[in-house]
A and B are shown apart, each in its own frame.
Chain A
Amino acid sequence: MSAWWRHRRPRPPLDHRRIRDRALILPIVGLLLLMPPIAGAFQIDLRLAGVPFTAVYLFVVWAALIAGAAVLTPSLSALAEEPWRVDAPRAGEGSDAEV
């Protein structure tokens, strides 16, 4: 695909909104895959190496969520960089600018 959007004017601080919106992906995907309508489709009488397929499915989705969170966290944490350290010197509090 030619990916026309790649050619748009580059916006230097890879827009915060896009990073932030990524944080929505995991809970929503997790909810869809683990909740009744869709998850029901994976409750089948099948075994993978002896283990019932449903159990494998649940743990695989779970592991994928964890991996996804581990991948997304660095960029999100960088966004949340405002240092609200508890025991930071109090006099400096006013200079901790908000995003």
Chain B
Amino acid sequence: MLSVDLLLLVCLGYVAVLFALAFYIDRRARQGRINWLRSPIVFTLSISVYCTSWTFYGAVGSAARNGLEFITIYLGPTLVFVGWWWLLRKLVRVGRVHRITSIADLISSRYGKSSSLAVVVTLLAVTATTPYIALQLQSVTRSYQVIVGEADANTTALTIAAGMALFTILFGTRNLDANERHHGVVAAIAVEAIVKLVALIAVGVFAVFWLGGGVRSVFESVPVAAVHGGAQMFDGRWAALTFLSATAIICLPRQFQVTVVENVDERHLGTASWMFPLYLFGMCLFVMPIALVGLAVLPAGSNPDLFVLTLPLHHGRHELALLAFLGGFSSATSMVIVAAIAVSTMVSNHIVMPVALNFLSSGREVSGDVRKLVLTSRRVSIGLVLGLGFLYFRLSGGSDALAAIGLIAFVGVAQFLPSLLGAIFWRGATGSGALAGLVVGFVLWAYTLFLPSFAGELAGGADLLAHGPLGLTALRPQALLGLTGLDPLVHALVCSLGANVLVFLVVSVASEPKPLERLQGALFVDVFRSTPGEPPRFVEGQATSEDLFVLAQRILGTDPARSLFDEMAREQGASGLPAPSDAVIARLERELTGSIGAASAHAMVSRIAGRERPALNELIDIADETQRLIETSRQLSEKSAELELAASQLRQANERLRTLDAQKDEFLSQVSHELRTPMTSIRSFSEILLGENGVSEQERHRFVAIIHDESLRLTRLLDEILDISRLEAGSVDLPLEPVDAQQVIDAALGTVSGLLRSRGVALRCTPLPAGTMVRANGDRLRQALINLLSNAVKYNAAPHPEIRVHAALGPAHLDIDVIDNGGGVTPEEATTVFEKFNRGRRGDRDQGAGLGLPISRAIMRTMSGDLTVEFAPDRTSFFRLRLARAVVATGTAAASTH
């Protein structure tokens, strides 16, 4: 047997080390030298405050009774952490941006900084945490008793509770950290986390390899069913337990404290996402073997909840038993410390402080150092919470009913889940919905789970469980509305959380959010989208800077307040106190939030800064709902502008199509008209010839000649139509080659020379320099030239007709001008002469179909040249053919001869 003195000595020594460590770290933190503390490993170890003595001792007990079911308690957190990106990261960011101090603060802050909501959450947290703390006291007391034999349970528990209260007060309320962070405490619980892990693994190794003779022999002696713990181990209870533990890792006040509030760097969450599950894995690895070895080795009737301790003790391994005791002690104390800090922060911020402030302000003026008041209230709250825990332990008489309290507490805090998720994912969630859901869930939890847990010890409790209140069987706590056949835990979970969610949803949908709720909702839900910095707020400001400074001084302390105001003044570029702008007031409120919670800070600042104006428009303006509306409407108007543009382009295209269609119709009717004239004369003359009567041979000859001529004209016309339509459609492939321009001109003049002579037209031609090459198709160019020349001859009515062909060389092109003295065209006619079937005022029907010029122009354009009407300075008009010169051809030809 270990001596009491030795045990006490070790315990005290261990506690002293923790105190010293916390003290040392706190001092370094105040000097700003805690960079190594900001490691993800410390963060992860502090999260493992999840593993309480309920894990350390209780998991083995659970494994001995129910097989592998105990794993569910660790699988839920594993799932939440490997999916950290979706929930935990957002929680941590919200906590960071809004200086959240507790889960009650988060919920109240999100739902319009509502103080009633904060009070309800706080009460619920206290109710769920108190028995849990009692459980820790009990486990330490029992383990103490196991080692030293009988000892007064109450004295032991009281000593522990007092010691924990002292530690928590010393290091949990040393100063009012604006960020509500406790470096000393975090360091201490990180050390404790290592101690409990090492202790459990040491006992496990001892049990498996010393006592059990290896893994195989430990398991071989037990039936598989005992390990499964039931015929159907993956049932509703399995799912419910996993869900519960997943919820607990988010909603337990102490988990919220270490994960969200104490987090110093969001990225630590990433490391914790695998390291924390790994820690849990290590804690669980030996649980089942220890349970099996304990069942096999220890005398029948031993309490499996204490196997971790009794196994080494029974085999005389006192040093191992001592380590196991320290492990259990660490699990219990770290939970108690963190839970006390978390819950006392809530109690202080949301219950004690508002009452105290109310009391103070009903006096003359706000007087006294509020800062001192906050600290005192925090300390009193810690004493209160631990006192309640002890009281519960005392009243429940350390009964076995306490063992079940872990899961009961889990279901209790699970009631926070709907409001919490609604807070950060659903803008439509309202404070009334959250309040109603919480109250309903809380009441049902108390009735279906909490009450039955100790009802057996109350007068008439057993009767209530069996028959319901006043004999109303439909209201039996464990079979509400006749819902029987379920595991009591699953039943309570389904009833309380189901009703909670339902009421939360329905009331939220039915109620109208207050402006502040709407604003906070937008800020919380879109926390990743908003720019980091102060959440905006609006107050009608008659605040004087002096009042604000006095307030800050009282809550933050003189020096921090002075440096804060100095900094704000510097930012404004002012000396002395900063002007009480919205930004200053918002910043101040945010700083105060870190110390006294959102609701209180809001109330205090609003009271000094003036009546809050519920300016719906302004609030909605900043809630980025409006931003989004603006964005949407901007996109809409952009789209409609695009549509308009497309529509106008379509309209233009349509217009052009119509014009083209009209031109086509006109062309067709012109073509048919043109074709009709020769066809008519051919038909009438052939009809006369067919009549045979009285037509002389000479006449017959003449008629046949006319028919022949008309047929020729028809053929020529059809050829021309075909030609121009092909040219215009671009389906004629004109091979372009360097041709000698002068040769083409000469050939064209040769062709029309007969015509010129017969009409007595004089011709003047300026010769080009020899070897002037152009890129063209010789035949087609000649055709165009002949066309122009014959036009010039045919339509020339001058007494002394004269034609000049003048070729001029440009740098890259050649112009061939065909000039006649026949009167030319007016500027108005200059465009119409190129229309099809336009004969101009000088023409008559015998002299062509009016396709010559359009064909010529089409030819020139196909050869990348052009045909235009130009006007000389004396306003006489002439036609100009323009062609690209083939400069290269001559160059290369010259080069190749060398």
Contacts and interface: CB of A to CB of B under 8 A. Distances in A.
A93 B403 CA distance: 48
Given A26-B82, A54-B228, A36 B238 contact: yes
A55 B277 contact: no
A28 to B, nearest CB: 8
B96 A84 contact: yes
A85 B264 contact: yes
Nearest to A41: B234
Contact of B233 (A43, A74, A81): A43
A52 B215 contact: no
Nearest to B529: A98
Contacts of A81: 267
A50 B216 contact: yes
B298 interface: no
Contacts of A14: none
Contacts of B571: 91
Interface string A3-45: 0000000000000000010011011001100111001100101
Contact of B567 (A23, A90, A98): A90
B224 A24 contact: no
Interface stretch (B107-115, B419-427, B530-538): B530-538
B68 A58 contact: yes
B83 interface: yes
Interface stretch (B85-93, B864-872, B886-894): B85-93
Interface stretch (B268-276, B332-340, B639-647): B268-276
Interface in B72-88: 75, 78-86
Contacts of B80: 27
A94 B271 CA distance: 27
A87 B183 CA distance: 13
A55 B532 contact: no
Contacts of B267: 77, 80-81
A65 B277 contact: yes
Given A36-B235, A84-B266, A62 B274 contact: no
The B contact surface, by secondary structure, is helix
Contacts of A62: 71, 75, 78, 277, 281
Contacts of A84: 93, 96, 265-266, 532
Interface in A57-92: 58-59, 62-63, 65-70, 73-74, 76-77, 80-82, 84-87, 90-91
A1 interface: no
B224 A27 contact: no
A55 B540 CA distance: 64
A70 B96 CA distance: 25
Interface centre among A31, A45, A63, A77 (most CB of B within 10 A): A77
Contact of B78 (A20, A30, A46, A70): A30
A59 B287 CA distance: 12
Given A30-B79, A47-B224, A55-B68, A23 B266 contact: no
Given A65-B82, A73-B270, A98-B530, A80 B89 contact: yes
A23 B234 contact: no
A86 B273 contact: no
B527 to A, nearest CB: 9
Contacts of A63: 281
Contacts of A20: 85
B242 interface: yes
B24 interface: no
Interface string B1-42: 000000000000000000000000000000010000000000
A31 B851 CA distance: 84
A52 B220 contact: no
Interface centre among B79, B81, B271 (most CB of A within 10 A): B79
Nearest to A71: B274
A23 B270 CA distance: 11
Contact of A24 (B75, B86, B271, B528): B86
Given A34-B242, A80-B89, A84-B93, A50 B219 contact: yes
A84 B271 CA distance: 16
A99 to B, nearest CB: 7
Given A24-B83, A34-B75, 8 more contacts: A35-B239, A55-B68, A65-B78, A69-B274, A84-B96, A90-B567, A91-B567, A91-B571
- Enumerate the 8 nearest inter-chain pairs by beta-carbon distance, A residue then B residue, closest first: A27-B83, A50-B216, A23-B85, A69-B274, A77-B270, A70-B274, A26-B82, A69-B82
22 contacts: A23-B85, A26-B83, A30-B75, A30-B79, A34-B242, A35-B239, A40-B234, A51-B216, A51-B219, A58-B68, A59-B281, A62-B78, A63-B281, A66-B277, A66-B278, A68-B82, A77-B270, A81-B267, A87-B32, A98-B529, A98-B530, A99-B528
